[in-house]
Amino acid sequence: MSLLFSSPPSKATASLTPFKAAIPKAKLVELETLIKIAKVAPPTYENSQTDHRYGVNRDWLVNMQDQWLRSYDWKSSEDRINSFPQYTMEVEDLTIHFVGLFSEKKDAVPIILLHGWPGSFLEFLPILQRFREEYTPETLPYHLIVPSLPGYAFSSGPPLDRDFGTGDIARVFDRLMKNLGFESGYVAQGGDIGSQIARRLGTEHESCKAVHVNAVFMKKPDGMTDDHLNAFELQGIENMKKFITTGVGYAIEHGTRPSTIGQVLASSPLALLAWIGEKFLDWVDDPLALEDILESVTLYWLTETFPRAIYTYRQSFPAPPVMIANDPRWYIHKPFGFSSFPGEHVRLPRSWIETTGDLVFWEQHQKGGHFAALERPDELKADLVKFVDQVWPGIKRAD
């Protein structure tokens, strides 16, 4: 029995292979065994701090280890994942996995939704769930495409014989969208690394007609002062400075010694839980459900995502002379939208962000953090709908 929203457009030019997550039982048994025998570090002053100032708390890790063994069920996650249409497509020399809700409307707007690290396609499932509850295949106004970045989840890893970065990901995903029949135009949305890929799509690929993001990584624009900023914006800058001072150790390791940290975290699921779990604790506004954290970490472990996924961090070490969003070459000369969430660890003022593209849509939210699609799916969905409704009619008239 085929799933609803699973009929690709007739204009699709490439072969799609239907996909279902199906982790072998032996892998699940191995994971359970490794969690059971994993050793937790002895109590220290640092790992006893409940505010995470020195990293993940030991008691939290012990509790999560117990929850992982006693109450978390991967098969339930697998069933949820498989309730959505999934496919793989061969693009260049990669196998790209994606979740897709396809509309039967001839004028449906194609949208590609892009995750980052330590995220995955799982982040966008709550939004997809809301769309499929609200619409039928005959009435859905959008084609919604959620790919796993190369190296993440069920997508194959980046090439072993050459360098590969966000520009390459953008090129592959542009081809993915064209192969699906969307060569005449699509919208890109992204957070974290996904926002950088969306920017590359918008600036380097004609078929990407508009860009909406919920993160921009940049330095203060040249010549700009803070005199015009309000207290909320100034606090966001202070939070960013604190993050740069105390919160980027993981990124330095990813960018300078990806081989070492990749092999370390591939050896122990509990170590992986500590490394990734810290981000799901620190980068949110309100706490996530423990089930959400365990689901994400389990997906990373079972698909061996971590060592395959951190390659994009090398682009930042050594630091480039100009960050991508500050570089005029990557100014978005297309409709550009931004959703700002207060718990984002790099929360920047509107006046900074509007120097990086033709900003036509801005929404400041009262709740939400770095994982906006997972934390505040209703708000991000509403913003995306407003943005597309605002910009797409003009784009189609221009065509």
What's the predicted TM-score (pTM) here? 0.97
Q: Measuring CA to CA, how many Å separate 164 from each of 151, 159, 205, 218, 285?
A: 11, 7, 18, 22, 33
Cα(189)–Cα(199) distance, integer angstroms = 9
Contact 279, 118 (CB under 8 A): yes
- Of 55, 36, 27, nearest in space to 270 by CA: 36
Q: For 206, which DSSP code?
A: T
Identify the segments of the chain with pLDDT beneath 50: 1
For the stretch 165-169, contacts whose Cβ atoms lie closer than 8 Å and that sit 24 or more positions apart, written own/partner, are 165/311, 165/312, 165/314, 165/315, 166/193, 166/196, 166/197, 166/200, 166/312, 166/315, 167/200, 167/204, 169/197, 169/200, 169/312
pLDDT at residue 289, rounded to an integer: 96
pLDDT in tens, 179-193: 999 999 999 999 999
Contact 195, 215 (CB under 8 A): yes
Query: What does the block give as tokens for 57?
Result: 């708390």
Q: Where are the domains of the chain?
A: 1-33+57-398
Query: What does the block give as tokens for 332?
Result: 């978005």
pLDDT in tens, 101-156: 999 999 999 999 999 999 999 999 999 999 999 999 999 999 999 999 999 999 99
Angle at CA of residue 220, ends 217 and 223, nearest 5°: 150
- Of 218, 245, 225, nearest in space to 322 by CA: 218
Element (H, E) at 209: strand 208-213
Strands 94-101 and 17-18 come out as: unpaired
Burial 352-370 (b: 16+ CB within 10 A, else e): bbebbbeebbebebeebbb
Cα(364)–Cα(368) distance, integer angstroms = 10
How far out from the chain centre does Cα 28 lie? 25
Residue 329, number of CB atoms within 10 A of its CB: 8
Assign domain 1-33+57-398 to its CATH superfamily. Alpha/Beta hydrolase fold, catalytic domain (3.40.50.1820)
pLDDT at residue 399, rounded to an integer: 66
Contacts (Cβ under 8 Å, ≥6 apart) of 373: 113, 115, 123, 124, 126, 127, 191, 380
Residue position matching structure tokens 């260049």: 92
pLDDT at residue 1, rounded to an integer: 47
Residues labelled as active-site residues: 192, 313, 370
- Of 186, 184, 205, 136, nearest in space to 11 by CA: 184
